[in-house]
Chains A and B, each alone.
Chain A
Amino acid sequence: MFFYQLLAGLSVGCIYALVALGYSLIFASIRLLHFAQGDLLMMGGFFALSMVLGLKLGLYTGIVMVMVAVAVLGFFIERIAYRPIPQRMIAARIMATLGIGLILRNMAVIIWGPQPRGLPPQVFSGPPIKLPGMVIPPAYYLVLIISVSIMILLTLFLGKTKLGLAMRTTAHDQNLAELMGIETSRVMSLSFMIGAALAAAAGMLVAPVTFISQNMGFRLGIKGFAAAVLGGFGNIPGSMIGGLALGLLETFGGGFISSGYKDCIAFVVLILVLIFRPSGILGKFHVEKV
């Protein structure tokens, strides 16, 4: 029992971690708290539905196609809606993300209909792993393997490639990056696209646990944000740890309180971390000085 809960917590945590990574990446690169991240996740879920049921793609090609599709969508969203608003107008930028969320949610209803739908369970199929005394169903380990490999690829990309270095430089100091000859405009687009693709992957991987519906994004989005804050906002390894920690906390903490209040855990964690340790688990604390 304990082992199954651990497994469930870890796989939910991985999904939170993917969403959290998306938030962190976008915030680090264009200083935008992307309220529509949950809606990009929802688009990922619906695209997955179309890829699997319509184009008859398998899990691995499907997830790559979903990520590419949402990344392209993200490119246009960022260029059309977010780029024209100056970075200092925080409220207007939040408003723009809310507007995009509204459009995406209702476009999804127009295209895919209002009923919640599920991916067929055969998508996440494979030989169940037999351990002494227990059997691990394929959905769990597939979610774990795919999300962990996405995170490893992302870490390698950011750490080892020239483009990753350009992204980190731009996130660190945009003016400096421009002086170094980096085309920050393109790099910022790319960062946003990767952030969108991460949300899309989470939207497909969450299918074994939840239905795909127009409102699936909101709760998952804010929980992913809580995970990002928990690990230190804008901090890549922190987001992964924060996601896993939140997933485990919810799974094990949910046993102590009634299941209706389980959703509150993430929100309470979010508020507590923002108040008592705004820099998160791994972040450094900055005090503004005159």
Chain B
Amino acid sequence: MVKPQTFPMMIAFVLLFFLPSLSGNNYYVLHVSIMVGIFVILSQGLNILFGYAGQISIGHAAFYAIGAYASAIAAHHFSFPFALALLAAVLFTSLIGFLLGITCLRLRGEYLAITTVAFGEIVQVILTQWEEVSGGPEGFLTIPKAHLSSFIVDTPEKYYYLTLVITVLIMILTRNLASSKLGRSFQSVKDDILAANIMGIDTTRVKIVAFVLSAAYSGLAGSLYAHYSRALLPDYFNLSLSVLIFMMVMLGGMGTLYGPIVGAILLTVSFELLRALQVYQMVIYGIVVLLVTIFAPEGLVGITRKMFRKKPVNAVQP
């Protein structure tokens, strides 16, 4: 018996499956959908670290960049096949996440946020300056197409399905993770680190695991982006991108499974729809961000959940 809550999900999945034919293989629709998929993975990665484990990061574009460049270098210089390049990118980004996690163990709140900002800037400066490896400011332009053994993922439609499959797998993984023992220990570290320590949770390990997982997700997203766009520019991975990912998680609802999806769709699609407004678009974004943080600090998923939650029967009315 299928639970009634899963119906909307199944409908959504069927719609997503037929999206290329529904849109008539419209290149633009597919492009936006692929970017949404990549951003869902990316913001889900930040959600693990920030939403579940409560460690603020405004430098996630750096992990994204490291994943993208690692995958590009593995595929171009070492001629790795796509799957192996992706794995290499995920492993390398995890290693960097591990190192940053160890470095930031003692930092909390605002201090952690600004340290991750500095980390993002350092990565961006290195990518711009270290021309032998990254191609410098002109960019890395020689990324081969994605191959899955003899099958070449060359059309946007094929890449759409690749992204869809990986995104769905990532969502399932995150759902299971959130309800596992590890997911609950993330929650305890976020809520009260002292209490978590007393309960016998190894908070040091939990924090580092959160960093590694989060970095791995971002590396995966980076690898997908690298083989999709096939050109990487260091300027793309700037602070604004980190802020955008942070906003996706905050707007959607931090610490919720579907929040990052809502945030990623909302910001990516509205960015395309409001493109004609140019500069005014960003001002509108700023105002929306302010309104949401002031009136719904738990994000859009959080606020809907709150509205639909039944009130306790014998609650005392003030």
The answer on A and B forming one complex is yes
Binding site for B on A (CB under 8 A): 33, 81, 84-85, 89-92, 94-96, 98-103, 105-107, 109-110, 114, 218, 222, 225-226, 229, 258, 260-261, 263-264, 267-268, 270-271, 274-275, 278, 290
Interface residue B239 (Cβ < 8 Å from any Cβ of A):
yes
In the assembled complex, the Cα of A270 lies from the Cα of B121 at a distance in Å of 12
Extra contacts, 9 of them, besides A92-B250, A278-B106 (Cβ < 8 A), are A81-B290, A84-B294, A91-B254, A92-B293, A94-B58, A95-B289, A102-B286, A267-B122, A275-B103
Q: Name the distance in Å between B113's Cβ and chain A's nearest Cβ.
A: 6
In the assembled complex, the Cα of A150 lies from the Cα of B119 at a distance in Å of 32
Chain B residues touching A, majority SS: helix
In the assembled complex, the Cα of A107 lies from the Cα of B289 at a distance in Å of 15
Residues of A within 8 A of B106 (CB): 275, 278
Residue in B58, B110, B115, B194 whose Cβ sees the most chain A Cβ within 10 Å? B110
Interface residue B18 (Cβ < 8 Å from any Cβ of A):
no
In the assembled complex, the Cα of A278 lies from the Cα of B109 at a distance in Å of 13
In the assembled complex, the Cα of A179 lies from the Cα of B280 at a distance in Å of 46
Beyond A89-B297, A258-B129, A271-B118, whether A94 also contacts B110 by CB under 8 A is: yes
- In contact, A263 and B125 (Cβ under 8 angstroms): yes
- In contact, B110 and A90 (Cβ under 8 angstroms): yes
Closest 8 CB pairs of A and B: A103-B286, A99-B289, A33-B110, A102-B286, A267-B118, A92-B297, A106-B282, A260-B129
Interface residue B83 (Cβ < 8 Å from any Cβ of A):
no
- In contact, B286 and A91 (Cβ under 8 angstroms): no
B285 (CB) vs chain A CBs: closest residue:
A102
Q: Name the distance in Å between B295's Cβ and chain A's nearest Cβ.
A: 9
Q: How many A-B pairs fall under 8 Å by CB? A: 116
- In contact, A99 and B280 (Cβ under 8 angstroms): no
- In contact, B128 and A264 (Cβ under 8 angstroms): no
Chain A residues touching B, majority SS: helix
B126-154: CB near A (< 8 Å → 1, else 0) gives 10110000000000000000000000000
In the assembled complex, the Cα of A99 lies from the Cα of B50 at a distance in Å of 18
In-complex Cβ contact of B290 among A99, A225, A264 (8 A): A99
Residue in A222, A225, A261, A271 whose Cβ sees the most chain B Cβ within 10 Å? A271
- In contact, A222 and B129 (Cβ under 8 angstroms): no
In the assembled complex, the Cα of A229 lies from the Cα of B110 at a distance in Å of 12
Residues of A within 8 A of B254 (CB): 91
- In contact, B128 and A260 (Cβ under 8 angstroms): yes
- In contact, A270 and B56 (Cβ under 8 angstroms): no
In-complex Cβ contact of A100 among B111, B115, B290 (8 A): B290
Residues of A within 8 A of B69 (CB): none
In the assembled complex, the Cα of A255 lies from the Cα of B109 at a distance in Å of 35
In the assembled complex, the Cα of A278 lies from the Cα of B107 at a distance in Å of 9
- In contact, A98 and B243 (Cβ under 8 angstroms): yes
Residues of B within 8 A of A225 (CB): 114
Q: Name the distance in Å between A217's Cβ and chain B's nearest Cβ.
A: 11
Interface residue B84 (Cβ < 8 Å from any Cβ of A):
no
Interface residue B247 (Cβ < 8 Å from any Cβ of A):
yes
Residues of A within 8 A of B111 (CB): 274, 278
- In contact, B247 and A268 (Cβ under 8 angstroms): no
A107 (CB) vs chain B CBs: closest residue:
B283
- In contact, A102 and B282 (Cβ under 8 angstroms): yes
- In contact, A98 and B247 (Cβ under 8 angstroms): yes
In the assembled complex, the Cα of A85 lies from the Cα of B283 at a distance in Å of 21
Q: Name the distance in Å between A69's Cβ and chain B's nearest Cβ.
A: 20
A27 (CB) vs chain B CBs: closest residue:
B110
- In contact, A103 and B283 (Cβ under 8 angstroms): yes
Residues of A within 8 A of B239 (CB): 218
- In contact, A263 and B121 (Cβ under 8 angstroms): yes
Residues of A within 8 A of B297 (CB): 85, 89, 92
In-complex Cβ contact of A102 among B104, B107, B121, B289 (8 A): B289
